[in-house]
Amino acid sequence: MKVLSVVGARPQFIKLAPICAAMASAEVGHVIVHTGQHYDDRMSDVIFADLGIPAPDYNLGVGSATHGRQTGGMLAALDGVLEESRPDWVVVYGDTNSTIAGALAATKMHIAVAHVEAGLRSFNRAMPEEINRVMTDHASDLCLAPTAVAMDHLSNEGLGERSLLIGDVMTDVCLGTRDLVAGKPLSFTPDGPFVMATLHRAENTDGDEHLRSLLTSISQLSTRVVLAVHPRLAAAADRIGFDLTTGAIEPVEPLSYPEMVAAVSAASAVITDSGGLQKEAFLLRTPAITLRTETEWPETLSGGWNVLDPTGRHISELLARTLSVPVDEAPYGDGQAAARCVRALQKF
């Protein structure tokens, strides 16, 4: 069996890591295609190196562009790669433009497609990721779901028969990395308690007044806030003339994955709009505040571990909230999702 994985953006490299390891253990031929959606070292190469992912076999070098141009560039380039490698399966991950491009290119060439992290829904059609998720699930031959809730969404859309619950591959990496970094010092000097923050989603960065108001709320907190700055946020802050060293904010470069796991474990709380980070906070038992109107990971809301605050106006009071033990302590599986994914590809 030959499997070809298509990845392009930071969270996908993290999802790819345990799949690569599971493919290698099962001695499955595995070709890696990097679309080039993320190209900065800290957004790409560093993650491959830190997580022991082999260098990609192909890099399509699409870079940044509007959604149509970026996705179209990937589609055009993938045809040649798929003609050359002729895999039995194409595996796509998550919800980025690289995900939909991989699924569409493969299915048009009658190559079987498996979607890792299928069935997540925010039900917010204004998010580019939501469109990518829905389209990818419907183009896929095998929908590999991380949670029971995701399985329900797939069934409700008539995709139940081609769906399988495998657990969450990011949980595989997160728990493994937590054990590796335990007791190691942080890459930035902790000066007492700190909150770890990220902010990068288009819904939060594209509107000037909304972004200014979120950053202002964060800057006025009484606890130090270490903000890992995604390139999209850096550009947006420049655009609105907001200095990212204002008040409580301490900007740092995007962290490597192990650094982020260590930082989230050590932080008193997490403020984020990232899907992955709110779930990592839950797994590492750090309270999170998510700056969004909805979450694809509703399990994190259990016990108050994650709370949605789309305007950022309640962050200060939310930091002081009390928490209880989550109802289901392990809704994201047992850390063996990647092995289940490979077995599913072999079986179907």
- Judged by the rule CB under 6 A, the positions of this chain that interact with ligand UD1 are 9-11, 37-40, 43, 64, 95-97, 128-129, 200, 230-232, 235
Nearer to ligand UD1, 30 or 230 (CB): 230
Tell me if residue 252 falls in helix, strand or coil: strand
Name every residue whose Cβ is closer than 8 Å to that of residue 125 and which is 6 or more positions away in sequence.
Answer: 131
Question: Cα 158 from chain centroid?
Answer: 25
Query: Judged by CB, which is closer to ligand UD1: 99, or 171?
Result: 99
Distance from C-alpha of 142 to C-alpha of 8, rounded to nearest angstrom: 21
Report the C-alpha gap between 202 and 251 in whole angstroms: 19
Measured distance CA(33)–CA(28) in Å, rounded = 16
Least distance from ligand UD1 to the Cβ atom of residue 161, Å: 28
Strands of the chain (E only): list them.
Answer: 2-7, 29-34, 58-59, 89-93, 112-116, 142-145, 163-165, 194-198, 224-228, 249-252, 269-272, 288-290, 306-308
* Nearest CA-CA partner of 165 in 187, 144, 149: 144
* Per-position DSSP letters for 146-186, written without gaps between them: SSHHHHHHHHHTT-GGGEEE---HHHHHHHHHHHHHTTPPP
Pick the closer one to ligand UD1 by CB: 203 or 309: 203
Q: How far is the CB of 79 from ligand UD1 (least distance, A)?
A: 20
Measured in whole angstroms, the distance separating CA 267 from the mean position of its chain's CA atoms is 20
Question: Which of 312, 347, 345 lies closest to 144 in space, CA to CA?
Answer: 345
Minimum separation from the CB atom of position 303 to ligand UD1 (A): 25
- Please identify, using beta-carbon distances, which residue of 63 and 193 lies nearer to ligand UD1: 63
Q: Nearer to ligand UD1 by C-beta: 64 or 216?
A: 64
Least Å from the CB of residue 203 to ligand UD1: 11
153 is catalytic: no
User: Measured from the CB atom, is 197 or 339 closer to ligand UD1?
Assistant: 197
Minimum CB distance to ligand UD1, residue 123 (Å): 16
CB of 37 to ligand UD1, least distance (A): 5
| Closer by beta carbon to ligand UD1, 202 or else 301 | 202
Please state, in angstroms and as integers, the Cα–Cα distance from residue 340 to each residue in 70, 111, 163, 335, following that order: 32, 21, 13, 10
Amino acid, res. 18: P
Q: Are strands 58-59 and 249-252 parallel, antiparallel or unpaired?
A: unpaired
Closest distance to ligand UD1 from the beta carbon of 222 (Å): 29
Q: Among residues 115, 200, 230, 314, which one is catalytic?
A: 200
For residues 60 and 44, the answer to whether their CB atoms sit within 8 Å is no
Task: Give Dmax (Cα) for the chain.
Answer: 57
Give the residue numbers annotated as catalytic, written as ranges.
Answer: 200
